[in-house]
Amino acid sequence: MALDALRDWTEWLTHERRSSPRTVEAYRHDILLALTFFQQHLGAEVTLADLGKLSLADLRAWLAHETARSEQPTRRTTSADSRARSRARHVSALRSFFRYLGLRHDLSNPAPSLLATPRTKKRLPRPLGEDAARAAAEGISDDAETSLAAFRDRALFMLLYGTGMRIGEALALNIRDLTNAGQNMLRVVGKGGKERLVPLLPAVIKVLESWKAAHPSPTPDAPLFCGVRGGRLNPGVAQRAMRTWRKGEGLPDSATPHALRHSFATHLMEGGADLRTIQELMGHASLSTTQAYTLADEKHLLDVWRKAHPRAAQES
């Protein structure tokens, strides 16, 4: 049945493709909605044979249904760009699911590949200012309810800003990873299971060592950042801690743990680092992703223009 294939596909995305938990859950949700729609459409539980027979018109009917559902008055108001992003994700999920069916179930259906992906506006990074980024770790730890949480949060948020790691990458670290860090370099497993080395600043090493000394169970296989029960820290706990701090500081909702990653890249660029180096440190597969930090910083673009263009000095 199609639901069994959906379960196997999400396992494949998680363990073989090493997709992020957020991507896996979003894709699973999208395909589950699609299968529910097709079940009502066909009047019976959807089989793999049914999926192989779906036409381009069938897939477009589901996409139209989801678009109409998002525009219902009872739902939260969404912008045209937001709806386009949702549709683009729906299309991406369908293509991924059917590619998997082709690989594992020898199912061939060209319809998903013929779907048009809507154009969306490129989202620019929204970093914190340098002062706010530097103050985040101490400020968040000051708001912690226990001294142990304070040690942990200071180390976590200093690591995020000091290395540009994704929150998921940081929370996936074990004590062993810190012990094995050689020459002040930390090995990180990023998207798609790709490994990279990130340098650790002396201040980051110091706070990590302080947290390790306070860690309730610093065995090699224990999660570096743990919750109150000793298990791996839930990302929601870290996000909530930063949310509490940003409210107290009057910062916008964009001040999230991921914004510290944007801040890392932006402040490196402002300090003169080249895009290739930033790309390597961030673990970006494509340089175009890294270039978004240049597009987001008009001041940097003007500085480069003034230094590089032959007539810049005359024009100013």
Residues annotated as catalytic are 166, 191, 258, 261, 284, 293
Question: In this structure, what token pair is assigned to residue 62?
Answer: 């589901």
Are 264 and 162 spatial neighbours (Cβ–Cβ below 8 Å)?
A: yes
Task: Report helix angle 275-282 to 287-295, nearest 10.
Answer: 120
Residue count of the chain, please give it: 316
CA distance from start to end of the chain: 69
Phi and psi, residue 165, nearest 5°: -70, 155
> Could you tell me where the DSSP H helices lie in the chain?
2-15, 21-42, 48-53, 56-70, 80-105, 111-114, 130-142, 147-163, 167-171, 175-179, 202-214, 235-249, 257-270, 275-282, 287-295, 298-308, 312-315
> Of 114, 111, 108, 89, which Cα lies nearest the Cα of 49?
108
